[in-house]
Structure 1
Amino acid sequence: MPIDFTLTPEQEQIQKTTRDFARNTLKPIVEEAWQEPDPQKAFVMTKPAYEEAYKAGFAMCFLPEEYGGSGLSNVDYLIAAEEISTVDPGFATTLLVNGLALLPILWFGTEEQKEKWLKMATSGEKSSWLAGWAVSEPPGAPGGTANFDHPGKHPVGIQTVAEHDPANGEYVINGEKYWPTNCGGWDLQGADVIVAIVRVDKSKGGSEGLGVAIIPRGTEGLRFRQPLRTVGQFLDQNNWFEIHNARIPEENVFAVGDGDLVIQKAFTWSGPAAGASAVGNARAAYEWALDWCKTYTAGSDKPIINYQNVGYLLTDIATKIEAARYLSWKGAHYLDTHEGEGHALGAMAKIYAGEVLKEAVWQCMQVVGINSVDLANPLEKHMRESLIFPLYDTGNMGMQRRKVWGVIADENYDSTTFMNNKPLRYKKSMEGYGAVAGKGVE
């Protein structure tokens, strides 16, 4: 059983490089940007750090070398994501969303689309180059996104519609997107490219009627509102934008009828990365709390690390961090081994890490006590950040748990699949669980 958690020399270098970047380049910017109340201004303040990350290869490191990326494995990427997230998981999300937007083109796009858009992203001509990933939509009745695979026709499920205009060789898009990251760009005039999930057939449900649209910056008909101000991960630009009769060439649309599978695979890829980001945030809180407990006496004659209740809580926190890290690494390793097909395990990593480590940050606050809510100390920020993990990147109580449910409910599911690292191909028949509200037991 060749299990070895020892980092290779190359991985040690990734860790060192990203740690140096996070502590020396990113941290001073984050400390200032978090004081800015305007979410767009705060996001723009991170642009110098983003440009340095781009030049260092972090922003597009998940893309293969043949398209200009660094070709990092998923495990390699998680090592980098954890280090950046110790300083600011919101900034880490800015980088992560480049992958959510561009990897679907790699997985489902045509060779022409890959050559054009992936190489444009990695060309180096513009170190602020940014990709937006637009799935989520405004709440309403109907509204929202979690039940994108609902079998009902429009307007249930995804409501942003792309109608084919074959006479002009175009698709015409109308709708709204709410929450997507990076889409507004640095100037609220749009990211360099937005990759959006759209309804390509209003008469079909979510497992048949969705596709993906590539919307370039400068496309007419897009109106960006001021980004949403959030309780945590404040430096992640969360957009609300409207699309009115935006026309794109038909060659900019792909995965017609399979947009649901694009959503599932993209958020499978990001699951372990979100888990690693949660680990980074919790680790930063733990390291600060541990140092505090080794020096703070609470009026006693010895630091509080010498008291049993403090020692036990810190032990629990350390255990949760290690467990969440290794589950995230396993999820990433599975994706590396099986061509990105690891839908249930990727979701498990995201669910477990986000929920367990939110509690770990709270425990850090408990051992520090009332001083943890002093804004001069960092735990308040870490707590705010931790609240986001169970809710973002397809919520744990929505899409992520439903994805696992669909896999384990399949008649051919083998409960030893992940234990033995056996392949498991995700199928459309695994979708739809929980998307239709039940009427109860009669």
Structure 2
Amino acid sequence: MAIDFTMSSAQKAVQLRARAFAEDVLAPLLYQAEHESDLTTAFVKKKPAYIEAYRQGIATAMLPAAYGGGGYSCLDFTIATEEIAAIDPGFACTVLCNGLGLMPVIWYGTEDQKQRFVSAATSDPSEQYLGAWTAAEPHQSTHAVNDIDDPRSLSDITLTATRRGDHYVLNGSKKWSSAAGWDGLGANTQTVIVRTDGQTVGPRGLSAIVVERGTSGIACHAAPRDEYRMGTSATIEFHDAEVAADNLLPGSQSNGDRVIDRNFAWFGPMAAIAAAGVARAAYEVSLRFSKRHAGSSLAPLSRFENVGNVLGEVAARIESARYFAWRAADYLDKHDQHGEIFGAMCKINVTEMMFDCVFRCMQLVGARTGDDEFSFSRHLHDAALLPIYDSGNMAAQRRRVRGIMAHERFNPRAALDDQAVYSPSLAEGVG
């Protein structure tokens, strides 16, 4: 019996709807936005596309239907993400950050918290709701969060949440919060990793708490252009900010490191398929170029052996990247969104491979890659960011892989046999 890679009719509908949105709604706004020197202004120029994505249910598609979301599986959302990322991975990230900000509520929150935060996200009358994920911190020590090859990075999270009656008081700062909001003053809600137990050394003293927009004692600074990553990020400062104790996700208490690992596992196939989308866009541009231009010869470039070989190799890599992302997403769906090692492996392999694909496509077009009509400056920029974005391939992602593999209970055939690889004891090896 063959393994079936054919999309179901429902998945094909997801793909076509996302493609129509990306090409008909998002693409026309992209040119003006990407030529803005100010990041916040550029972000806001794509706001009409976001509102339409919200209306169509794309912006909240990853959230459970029980709370008003689209009820997409990880695999369904991976399929949709490729279509949007092929036009603009930054916009895809803006949408994905709703998942990064709210999936921890679904996994670790109470029913009341799900109704309060997730249902509010899917029923915003302004159709502008943005969620955010806030974990990383500024380099306040030599062992900064996500520092290369440093297992102590999570131990150095210093944003404290001190219990005082029915509130937690937050003090400290965060960097690269995943959404600065439409006005640069913060997202509607952000899930923040905080240190709730100052007596516990290491990552086990961490928890996750939902912070709502407008909370006093919080200053949000949108990232300048030279710190642009994907979408629009922010630095958040907390000065005696009071957050209701009911906003702490109970399943995350002294478990914040696991929240981080699970969230990045969920995002792994998304980052990978975004890279495949970027490479797909570059490949299609170079393929059209090679068929229409002859260079110094009479025959189109596509007729030359080396050009054809490069295009064929790039196309094959994109196909393999897509199926790896689909497989990782499918594995996560089958194992309760736990698959930390496979989400990381997928993200590492695909994003690095796709960067090489984009660069090789640029070589085929040659000196004209700088022309606006080909958009290669944007494709190369996005392809270069994806390996260092989302927990960093050379930092937490590779540390996550080797930490789990080194555990004596790790099963190297787990993916092959479709068995669960995750367990709390294995997760301890992440570092």
TM-score class, shorter: over 0.9
Please report how far the alpha carbon of residue 373 of structure 1 lies from its aligned counterpart in structure 2 after TM superposition.
Answer: 2.3
Quote the residue 2:174 is aligned against.
Answer: 177
Contact kept in structure 2, 1:170 and 1:250, CA below 8 Å: yes
Contact kept in structure 2, 1:151 and 1:205, CA below 8 Å: no
| Structure ranking higher in helix proportion | 2
The answer to whether residue 194 in structure 2 is matched with residue 159 in structure 1 is no
Superposed CA deviations along residues 249-301 of structure 1, whole A, max 9, x for unmatched, are 11111211001110000000000011111111100000010000011101201
Structure 2: gaps of 5 or more residues? none
State the distance in 2 between where 1:54 and 1:428 align. Answer: 39
State the distance in 2 between where 1:17 and 1:29 align. Answer: 18
CA-based RMSD of the aligned residues comes to 1.9
Contact kept in structure 2, 1:67 and 1:119, CA below 8 Å: yes
Structure 1 28/143 Cα, relative in aligned 2: closer, same or farther at 3 Å?
farther
Read off the aligned partner of 1:56 and give its amino acid letter: Q
Quote the residue 2:312 is aligned against.
Answer: 315
Quote the residue 1:253 is aligned against.
Answer: 248
Contact kept in structure 2, 1:207 and 1:260, CA below 8 Å: yes
Identity %: 38
Contact kept in structure 1, 2:222 and 2:233, CA below 8 Å: no
The answer to whether residue 223 in structure 2 is matched with residue 224 in structure 1 is no
Deviates more, 1:410-419 or 1:197-206: 197-206
State the distance in 2 between where 1:313 and 1:16 align. Answer: 29
Quote the residue 2:383 is aligned against.
Answer: 386
State the distance in 1 between where 2:293 and 2:148 align. Answer: 50
Superposed CA deviations along residues 56-113 of structure 1, whole A, max 9, x for unmatched, are 1111111111111111111110111000001100010001111011000100111111
State the distance in 2 between where 1:309 and 1:147 align. Answer: 40
Aligned residue among 296, 299, 302 for 1:302: 299
Contact kept in structure 1, 2:101 and 2:132, CA below 8 Å: yes
Deviates more, 1:372-381 or 1:281-290: 372-381
Please report how far the alpha carbon of residue 206 of structure 1 lies from its aligned counterpart in structure 2 after TM superposition.
Answer: 3.4
Quote the residue 1:439 is aligned against.
Answer: none
Please report how far the alpha carbon of residue 426 of structure 1 lies from its aligned counterpart in structure 2 after TM superposition.
Answer: 3.4
Please report how far the alpha carbon of residue 233 of structure 1 lies from its aligned counterpart in structure 2 after TM superposition.
Answer: 5.2
Please report how far the alpha carbon of residue 141 of structure 1 lies from its aligned counterpart in structure 2 after TM superposition.
Answer: 2.0
Q: Secondary structure of 1:208's match?
A: helix
Aligned residue among 225, 233, 242 for 2:237: 242
Please report how far the alpha carbon of residue 240 of structure 1 lies from its aligned counterpart in structure 2 after TM superposition.
Answer: 1.2
Contact kept in structure 2, 1:153 and 1:205, CA below 8 Å: no
Read off the aligned partner of 1:389 and give its amino acid letter: L
State the distance in 1 between where 2:209 and 2:2 align. Answer: 42
Aligned residues: 429
The answer to whether residue 192 in structure 2 is matched with residue 196 in structure 1 is yes
Structure 1 392/108 Cα, relative in aligned 2: closer, same or farther at 3 Å?
same
Structure 1: gaps of 5 or more residues? 436-442
Read off the aligned partner of 1:78 and give its amino acid letter: T
Contact kept in structure 2, 1:151 and 1:432, CA below 8 Å: no
The answer to whether residue 277 in structure 2 is matched with residue 280 in structure 1 is yes
Read off the aligned partner of 2:402 and give its amino acid letter: W
Read off the aligned partner of 1:355 and give its amino acid letter: E
Please report how far the alpha carbon of residue 367 of structure 1 lies from its aligned counterpart in structure 2 after TM superposition.
Answer: 1.0
Q: Runs of at least 4 residues of structure 1 off by over 4 A?
A: 147-154, 230-234
State the distance in 2 between where 1:429 and 1:377 align. Answer: 46
Aligned residue among 405, 409, 418 for 2:406: 409
Please report how far the alpha carbon of residue 431 of structure 1 lies from its aligned counterpart in structure 2 after TM superposition.
Answer: 3.6
Contact kept in structure 2, 1:148 and 1:260, CA below 8 Å: no
State the distance in 1 between where 2:324 and 2:27 align. Answer: 27
Read off the aligned partner of 1:15 and give its amino acid letter: Q
Q: What is the 5 A alignment of 1:337-352? A: 337-352=334-349
Q: Secondary structure of 2:177's match?
A: strand
Structure 1 91/359 Cα, relative in aligned 2: closer, same or farther at 3 Å?
same
Contact kept in structure 1, 2:157 and 2:195, CA below 8 Å: yes
Contact kept in structure 2, 1:102 and 1:118, CA below 8 Å: yes
Structure 1 395/150 Cα, relative in aligned 2: closer, same or farther at 3 Å?
closer
Deviates more, 1:2-11 or 1:424-433: 424-433
State the distance in 2 between where 1:124 and 1:172 align. Answer: 28
Contact kept in structure 2, 1:149 and 1:260, CA below 8 Å: no
Quote the residue 1:8 is aligned against.
Answer: 8
Read off the aligned partner of 2:237 and give its amino acid letter: E
Please report how far the alpha carbon of residue 148 of structure 1 lies from its aligned counterpart in structure 2 after TM superposition.
Answer: 12
Contact kept in structure 1, 2:61 and 2:77, CA below 8 Å: yes
State the distance in 1 between where 2:284 and 2:226 align. Answer: 25
Q: TM-score, normalised on structure 2?
A: 0.95
Structure 1 386/353 Cα, relative in aligned 2: closer, same or farther at 3 Å?
same
State the distance in 2 between where 1:190 and 1:218 align. Answer: 8
The answer to whether residue 37 in structure 2 is matched with residue 37 in structure 1 is yes
State the distance in 1 between where 2:189 and 2:257 align. Answer: 20
State the distance in 1 between where 2:216 and 2:138 align. Answer: 21
Read off the aligned partner of 2:214 and give its amino acid letter: G
